[in-house]
Copies of this chain bind each other. A is one copy, B any other.
Amino acid sequence: MSKERQVPVDDRLLTTNPNDIFDDPDIDVVIEVMGGIEETRSLLVKALRNKKHIVTANKDLMALHGPELLLEATANQCDLFYEASVAGGIPILRGLVDGLASDRITKMMGIVNGTTNFILTKMSKNGSAYEDVLKEAQELGYAEADPTSDVSGLDAARKMAILSTLGFSMTIDLDDVKVQGITEISKDDLEYSQKLGYTMKLIGIASRYGEKVEVSVQPTLLPETHPLASVNDEYNAVYVYGEAVGETMFYGPGAGSLPTATAVVSDLVNVLKNMRLGVNGRSAVSPQYPKALKGPEDVYAKFFIRLHVSDEVGVLANITSIFSEYGVSFDKILQLPLKQKESSEIVLITHRASLFNLDRIKQELSNYEMIKEIKSAYRVEGEELL
């Protein structure tokens, strides 16, 4: 209550006791921007049971308890809107709900974490190392002192859980999201990506085929002409594939006080419209489909693989034959000598392969004595799968 604020607020309007709000019949809407999970959840449930509509920007909470809170809201004929929880200034949740009215979503690819996008953009543009850019980002306020939840991919995973639950009408829990962060990405990875015409981004992928879905977050290569490839710095974007509409993209600021505020106020306006029309609590739809997750044998992509090998006759032929055993061929190959004597660097872009086969191939490669090291392996998206 003693915090300095840019806008003067009458002290009599402030309280540290939530019951002052729940018990006040003149209060219709609670805007929750305090963060936190367990304590906040029980406060919001209490608010809903007191017939307060809720607007929240809390992605941690919605990723863990969204479906149950939405049920509680509907039971109390209350609205619970959370546009600000994913990609701040981008009206993506409303875009999905509207799109779903007339189409079926088959895939979403999202750049949904501004900190990691800022870091990867700077690493790509300036050829800098991860640690140096992270430090710069922290100094500029784009990364927190403890950046773990951003750089580990956890923050992006939360948003993908929210997006896929809504887009696929299926309860996707945070634990269902496979996550890999950006901390292992090297300057060399970015340099070779660029040489082959790709841009590296931390991409959240949610894809559906038939009744099964895959939701994951990982460093991913996109063709440099792909619209997501030019989403730079702290910007966010979500690329949506609909069966009928084809490919659409929503782009904008992912965070920041004003963009977040516009999302909160848009939600608030919708609550007020619904109040005036007397239709609150009718727009939330509970997940319609039982959860069904794809296994690694059902997930197909192209892959980028970088190897250090002995510079001997027949190495590439042997590598090729390992891949062929699993029916995987190559789209692009780049081989360059290394500074260390008698070693080469080989960078491969595969054609379509399953995650399951990729893992088996990596296992075989690592057993093969002429391969000194598998330096990295990344997914490649945004191209036709052949």
Contact = CB atoms under 8 A, between A and B. Distances in A.
Interface residues of A, number: 45
A89 interface: yes
A368 to B, nearest CB: 40
Nearest to A103: B262
A256 B242 CA distance: 14
Contact of A246 (B89, B98, B227, B231): B89
B249 A251 contact: yes
A287 interface: no
B230 A259 contact: no
A244 B265 CA distance: 11
Majority SS of interface residues in chain A? mixed
Contacts of A230: 225-227, 229-230
Interface in A72-127: 89-91, 94-95, 98-99, 101-103
Nearest to A270: B101
Interface string A249-274: 11111001011011111101110000
A145 interface: no
B262 A89 contact: no
Residue in A99, A231, A246, A258 whose Cβ sees the most chain B Cβ within 10 Å: A246
B242 A232 contact: no
The 4 A-B pairs of least Cβ separation, nearest first, read A248-B252, A102-B265, A249-B251, A101-B269
9 contacts: A91-B98, A102-B268, A235-B247, A242-B262, A244-B261, A245-B252, A246-B252, A247-B252, A248-B253
